[in-house]
Structure 1
């Protein structure tokens, strides 16, 4: 039987934009800054579409949490091949304090409501680099998980997943329902064609709120200050090993 697949998509500052810290150090500048779908989530959508093309998946449900602008990435997911989109609306002010545990609870509740067989998420978002949501979803649902996937293949009613680990590659087999998180080398996401983009603009997007799902999104943490990374000091050239040793001694390094 073909799977129902859910993919999470997050709207983030585009990877090519230089991020600037606000003058009051409460966060980063987002106004008039280009945003796009988190690159790891693009890979998740692409993998879901490929599973559908192989007849292993029957329907793809894209989910995004955030303010109204989150619908932009849902439209992109629909244009790439998702069948249905759900926008869990979180006002901009509340969204600033939305943590992976909040998102994981929302996705877990939706996965149950939609009778999902497979949740595919990017391994992390490039704005916070948390790498937590997928693991938390698996824990909340008590489903098996295969994180950092570089290859996914349906096998005997489950999945055979090749994972990228520090020591190389690891192959695991998981039974469905399951949670998979995507690594960079899993696939090359397709570009949405203009006709599909136009069709996606007309497709309805289901709207929900965390309260509809019984999820409390009260802040679990407080941002005290956001700082720019320290600027690296310029290096200097030395003429010989003796000069290098001398400079290291003067700097107290040896």
Structure 2
């Protein structure tokens, strides 16, 4: 099953709304200075790039994105003249050697076919002494909405084990991230947890985004016949803890990483 990244409103309902508060925490941790040149690799609909524009006072932000609909959504999300989007991937960034002070990526590295090659390419377009940084979800434990989905899916069908993002993406843990950044030649590598609340108004607010087909869990959900999808929904519904107002309060953990280009 191929992960789909084409329908930007569905992505926003599913993950985009949670990636924005993570981006804010990430940039606070990164402690960037003003007037720097930034590249956001895999910028998607613009969650991280737009947050850089709002909070980091950059000289320029270049997004790199292979999906045309997502790139269009990123462009439409701001009229800031410092922002542009180029077509490309983490392993083939359309930029000159050392063009940027900071090269970042949000929720991307685990989807890169060869992550170390992607990191090496990010290093190439970063100046000496510049920073390569990003963040990924903690699929194995801390990203609770996705963890709950796969736990229920595997209970109903153990054959889904190899689709579980906690299994698919072993990179998304502190030590594998440190190892990957060090292997790519980055110095001073750090990994740090970022936790944000993900509060759903009711069960529909939790469940319906999984029907949008964007990303691994929604893609799997969309592939199910109706009866199996209903069984998955009912199991998740029965396990959801609600407060007195009917809200489902979860948290999402991401692992932020950074290193210095020291060639």
TM-score by length of 2: 0.33
Greater helix share, 1 or 2?
2
TM-score by length of 1: 0.34
